[in-house]
Amino acid sequence: MIQMLSITDTHSDSPAHAVVTSIVNAIPSPELSWTGWILLLPAISVVLTGLCCALRVKSKLPGWITVLALAGSFALVLKLYFLRGDAGAPVVVHLWDWMNFRWGDQGKWYTLQADVSVYVDSLTLFWLLFVTGLGTLIAIYATEYMESDVGKGYARFFNGVSIFILAMCTLVMADNLLLLYLGWEGVGLASYLLIGYYYKKPAAVAAGKKAFIVNRMGDLGLAVGIWLIWVNYGTIEFNTLFQVWNDMERGVGSFDKSLIPYCLMLGAFGKSAQLPLYVWLPDAMEGPTPVSALIHAATMVTAGVYLIARTYPLFALHPDALATVAWVGGLTAIFSATIGMAQYDFKRVFAYSTISQLGYMFMGLGVGTTFGAAYHTLTHAFFKALLFLTAGAIMHGFAGQLDLRKLSGLRQVPGFKLVSWTMLIGCLWLSAFPYSAGMLSKDIILVQALSGKDHGFVWLGWIGLITAAMTAYYAFRVWFRVCAGPVFYMPGEEAHDDHDAHAAPTSHASHDFHPHAPRWAMNGVLIVIMLGAFATGIPGYMELRGESNWVQVMMAHSSALAGSVQAHVTDVVNFGMNPHQLVELFGTIASLGGIAIAMYFHLLQRKSADKLRAWLLAHNSIRWIPVAMENKWYVDEFYHACIRGPAWIAGHILHFTDKHVVDGLMVNGIGRIPAALGRLFQPLYNGVLQGYATTMAGGAALVVAWVVYRWLTSGVVA
């Protein structure tokens, strides 16, 4: 049996906490075959937007096709959710046959069955709800954001978005690991296509390539993991696997069985941008901002969290693997927060904050609260989408300006009031302001970490609290710089080419430049997502009132049920306080303290921030700190030297070998032998017919002479 509950405490009285320790067997439900339309609608959108590409449609048609398809999917997901409720048993719906191999003999049969079937439990629904919901909203936003590309890349962009939603829905609905892998690679493809959307810009192309290659390394782990699961358990269908894992003893198994969770987590780390595979995500900000919001903040990067939550029964069998997940998550959280504190490009600040928040989610999974991880995924999806969309609105309005030193006081610029205030909400949620949704979800994870008895989880909890202070600082560093203070702005270089020329290209002086305020589609979406960000707090408030938390109920009826019970530990941890009191006190201090420091340096005394930096740089013993943080700890350079460099050298050596040894010496060398022989015998062919005849006759005479000689000397007749 899964005994994660030994870490957590179960003396809870709420009915939602009723302990279900095994995953309910899925019910085959052919009557739900209409769920296939959740996948089919984005698929149709892929085809139609592809046609728009081919026919060079010069209107916003592809955008609205995508919006309609995604809204249709979202409506179907809602229908499914209300039909099934929070606590229904998982269902399996067989849609189409895909592959079904059976081979072997003499009583030893192997089967590999992977059909296009959907496995719907509460975890699937939970993910589907925000993937399709946010996907629809961000597509609406993008119809306006991308309008300067109408007729150029507009259809291509929405084609990418449709591919992404199709693949993401496949990923979360798959009833077997192979279909999940198909979706997994599909979102990788969509991500690559959309990061490299501005394909004429070398940085965007390089970023797309980097994302794809770094993800490949993680995907290798996932592929090997799936293969090992098939080898060890003989099936890759979730329902069967869950029943097998249910009955297994914890920590028992062969070496390759205990290797499986490590392989799977490698895949998750790649897709969800964790150490050491996080480097692709900051560069992915080269893509259009709606893509950063949808794929690289809200949905795709949570696929890793989903994968571990989905295979949680397996992870629960290997506590060491879970501890690895927790530590990688915690270290990623603090590491990327240090980088985020020192970046000037505020979209990159948000990118590093995404990595950091994903780190929290993995920490939550690792310390045993899938509920906290899923809840943080939900709140993060909304507030981070909100932050990116406000960043996009500012980029859109200021010709691609992203430097927080060159923008100030936007809340007083006409048309940017709403952007500023929604960004404030996003920043408050990101900094876990007391009683915001971000705080409610983050605290579950921190409490669970501080309640941990082994693997140093208490230290991890403190790392999380320190990171929270850093998060509050960098979030409000952006807001106080960009939205507060005196009005001042400099337009960007229109580097992203997504702004219709409002500024005269010759002059970048601010008095010539008229910011391009967002209109109804962008503002409306910002309001809806802001309301959504508020709404994500509701499950937490319900819990504070003693009612059951919706996310918790959802997790308790899914494959992640082992981590769905929240810790209620009253043991004293540090400073004479139990984990709840610790997180309450220090979480509040971290959040408010971070905001206060940011306020001092970036609103009240902006000069002193420069002074501090100058002071740090002036002292040789500590000047490495700001330099390293601003340069992202030189991780890219390190990878460049340790991986790309050797690979480059090896590539050139192999290229040289191929060109001069394989091709030059072996292939062409062998080709030269007949040619040389030909040149050797060429003089014999002088064109004189009699010469040839003489040679032939001479040859024949020699053969005859030899035969006769043999005959005479053989003694047969003699």
Which residues sit at the interface with another protein, rule CB under 8 A?
685-690, 693-694, 697, 711-712, 717-718
Nearer to another protein, 620 or 690 (CB): 690
Q: State the minimum distance, in angstroms, from the CB of residue 700 to another protein.
A: 9
Could you tell me the smallest distance in angstroms from the CB atom of residue 709 to another protein? 12
Between 670 and 717, CB nearer to another protein: 717
Q: Which residues contact 642 (CB under 8 A, 6 or more apart)?
A: none
C-alpha to C-alpha distances, 504 to 406, 492, 493, 500, 516, nearest whole angstrom: 18, 12, 11, 11, 13
- Measured from the CB atom, is 671 or 687 closer to another protein? 687
CB 274 within 8 A of CB 359: yes
* Rounded least distance, CB 692 to another protein, Å: 9
> CB 705 → another protein: shortest distance, Å?
14
Tell me the H-state helices in 31-60.
Answer: 36-55
Closest CB to another protein among 638 and 685?
685
How many residues are there in the chain?
Answer: 718
Q: Measure the CA–CA gap between 472 and 17, rounded to whole angstroms.
A: 32
**Residue 344 to residue 230: CA distance in whole angstroms:** 47
Name the token pair of 538. 């509701």
**Smallest distance, Å, CB 671 to another protein?**
22
Nearest distance from C-beta of residue 690 to another protein, angstroms: 5
CB of 674 to another protein, least distance (A): 18
Query: Of 435, 417, 647, nearest to 541 (Cα)?
Result: 435
Contact at 8 Å (CB) between 356 and 436? no
**Least distance from C-beta 679 to another protein, angstroms?**
14
State which residue, 30 or 698, has the beta carbon closest to another protein: 698
- Would you say 575 and 377 are in contact if contact means Cβ atoms under 8 Å apart? no
Query: What is the closest distance, in whole angstroms, from the C-beta atom of residue 676 to another protein in the complex?
Result: 19
Nearest approach, Cβ of residue 697 and another protein (Å)? 6
417 Cβ contact partners less than 8 Å away, ≥ 6 residues apart:
411
Residue with Cβ nearer another protein (656 or 709): 709
Element (H, E) at 95: strand 91-105
**Rounded least distance, CB 701 to another protein, Å:** 9
Q: For residue 678, what are its two tokens?
A: 């030909």
Q: Which CB atom, from 608 or from 694, has the smaller least distance to another protein?
A: 694
**8-state DSSP, 427:** H
Q: Which is nearer to another protein, 15 or 687 (CB)?
A: 687
Considering beta carbons, is residue 680 or 718 the nearer one to another protein? 718
**How close are the terminal C-alpha atoms of the chain, in Å?**
97
Nearer to another protein by C-beta: 87 or 693?
693
Is 676 exposed, middle or buried, given 0-12, 13-18 or 19+ CB atoms closer than 10 A? exposed
If the CB atoms of residues 435 and 692 are measured against another protein, the closer one turns out to be 692
At its nearest, how many Å lie between another protein and the CB of residue 715? Answer: 11
Helix H, strand E, coil C: the string for 474-508 is HHHHHHHHHCCCCCEECCCCCCCCCCCCCCCCCCC
Q: Are 123 and 555 in contact (CB under 8 A)?
A: yes
Considering the complex, what minimum distance in angstroms separates the CB of residue 693 from another protein? Answer: 6
For residues 256 and 231, the answer to whether their CB atoms sit within 8 Å is yes
Helix-then-strand count for the chain, H and E: 28, 5
Contact 581, 45 (CB under 8 A): no
Q: Min. distance of Cβ 714 from another protein in angstroms?
A: 11
**Is the preceding omega at residue 313 within 30 degrees of 0, hence cis?**
no
CA distance 578 to 447: 9
The answer to whether the CB of 355 falls within 8 A of the CB of 328 is no
Please identify, using beta-carbon distances, which residue of 670 and 716 lies nearer to another protein: 716
Nearer to another protein, 506 or 714 (CB): 714
Nearer to another protein by C-beta: 27 or 704? 704
CA dist 7 and 579 (Å) reads 14
Position 15: which residue type? P
Q: Do residues 555 and 125 lie in contact, with contact meaning Cβ atoms separated by under 8 Å? A: no
Return the number of other C-beta atoms located less than 10 Å from residue 673's C-beta: 9
